[in-house]
Amino acid sequence: MNKIGKTKIPHTTPRYSATFSNDINSDIRRAAATGIYDIRGGGAKRKLPTFDDLLFLGASISRYPLEGYREKCETSVTIGTRYAKNPIELDIPITIAGMSFGALSGPAKEALGRGASAAGTSTTTGDGGMTPEERGHSSKLVYQYLPSRYGMNPDDLRKADAIEIVVGQGAKPGGGGMLLGQKISDRVAEMRNLPTGIDQRSACRHPDWTGPDDLEIKILELREITGWKVPIYVKVAGARPYYDTTLAIKAGADAIVLDGMQGGTAATQDVFIEHVGQPTLAIVRPAVQALQDLGMHREVQLILSGGIRNGADVAKALALGADAVAIGSAALIALGDNDPIYEEEYNKLGTTAGAYDDWHEGMDPAGITTQDTELMKRFDPIEGGRRLRNYLKVMTLEAQTIARACGKNHLHNLEPEDLVALTIEAAAMAQVPLAGTDWYPGKPGTSY
């Protein structure tokens, strides 16, 4: 030990760098060892402003509540009322987001269909086409129309209850898809018309249209092929929500699906997931503003996704103007993804339950994000469907509980005036007052 004279110099406690944290250092070591960027599944894991930064005010003397369990609080929503002959009628405003067969196992897709149907809502295909199991078990199925067009054909298009033109995804605005060779089984390869075992890259742009004027013509083509029967959604990442919503409405969309950066992906570069896009909280008001400016709010429906977890999130999304929400990651957790019962096996993969995100490697101990036939056997689609139904029901009950407390007899009657924000950032993004004030940054008529 060093001394100055007779005085021992004490050690300071080891101090980690906020800039070069352990996480960052491990990223650097990994990059140096492999020469390949880190690929993972899921959405942004960094701390972001979220719906948790908002609170409902509930009822008081100026507002009276509805009696829980006695007075009705409606939850239904109709999507596609603008042009479609057959709009989709959902019992609850919570839908299942697009996830591909390929990224997920066949039984997992079946479970999503079972759970969604039992709860009276829709599920959505993904970047791999429509499987018979999925169609068979989904009373309302939205068919995604993606840049890759894997498995796209007019027969499946006509079997769909709605078509979702995917322009972007919250986890990777401007990015294409990726399904690594480990998951390109014979069946996945056949559906995608690719050799087995190769890394499948999906384009980031549609192959036969570019820009909003082309999109309008593409929507016309899809309507002509399907006889103007089914709604056509346009899904965009929450990058420029005001302009993208405006352009999608102009192009003739029946509904807009808007996905924040917490929204999951099957596999993308970690740097993309964490550094491109905007938080879900920040994108809903600009999109609603675009709908209102064009006189299309509630005529063109807004479906918000990206990190929706519980009934409070649903209620907050609807209060800010969305017509419905979509869940992906949360649905997988309900099915059993990242369940601590598989902790030992997660440890063997170098991770822990709750943090497992190497879905692209196809080794999922829960048998959900895999094409490995042995792992898939662990997952029971009937039980999975039951769990998803329960979860959707609980979310709905939670949202109804909040709405009744705010005096609302339909979830759509929730409004921004029911909310306050806990932080200045959340107040600015949601355009609701900071708690205890009547102010938010940028509020018209204020000079802050």
Partner 1 sequence: MLEFDLQENGLRKLNSALHDQKENSNQTVWKVTNPKGSHSIAVGIDAPIEVNIEGSTGYYCGGMNKQANINVKGSVGPGVAENMMSGKVVIDGDASQYAGATGHGGLLVIKGNASSRCGISMKGINIVVHGNIGHMSAFMAQSGNLVVCGDAGDALGDSLYEAKLFVRGKVKSLGADCEKKEMRPEHLELLEQLLSDAECDAKPEEFTRYGSARKLYNFNIDNSDAY
Q: Point out which residues bind partner 1 (CB under 8 A).
A: 34-36, 148-149, 152-155, 157, 180-181, 193-195, 197-199, 201, 203, 207-209, 214, 217-218, 220-221, 224-228
225 vs 341, beta carbon nearer partner 1: 225
**Minimum Å distance from CB 309 to partner 1?**
33
177 vs 367, beta carbon nearer partner 1: 177
177 vs 385, beta carbon nearer partner 1: 177
Amino acid letter, 109: K
CB-based burial label for 182 (10 Å; 0-12, 13-18, 19+)? middle
Q: How far is CA 202 from the centre of its chain?
A: 19
- Distances from the Cα of 181 to the Cαs of 41, 104, 218, in angstroms? 15, 14, 32
- Distances from the Cα of 275 to the Cαs of 46, 170, 242, 417, 423, in angstroms? 9, 11, 20, 32, 22
**Minimum Å distance from CB 106 to partner 1?**
22
273 vs 284, beta carbon nearer partner 1: 273
**Minimum Å distance from CB 357 to partner 1?**
18
Cα–Cα–Cα angle for 242, 244, 246, nearest 5°? 70
**H-helix or E-strand containing 165?**
strand 162-166
**Minimum Å distance from CB 229 to partner 1?**
11
**Minimum Å distance from CB 221 to partner 1?**
4
The pair of structure tokens assigned to 168 is 């972007």
203 vs 355, beta carbon nearer partner 1: 203
For residue 163, which of 102, 259, 84 has the smallest C-alpha distance? 84
The pair of structure tokens assigned to 133 is 């199991």
202 vs 396, beta carbon nearer partner 1: 202
**Minimum Å distance from CB 201 to partner 1?**
7
Q: What are phi and psi of 101, to 5 degrees?
A: -75, 125
228 vs 243, beta carbon nearer partner 1: 228
Amino acid letter, 179: L
**H-helix or E-strand containing 383?**
helix 381-405
**Minimum Å distance from CB 192 to partner 1?**
8
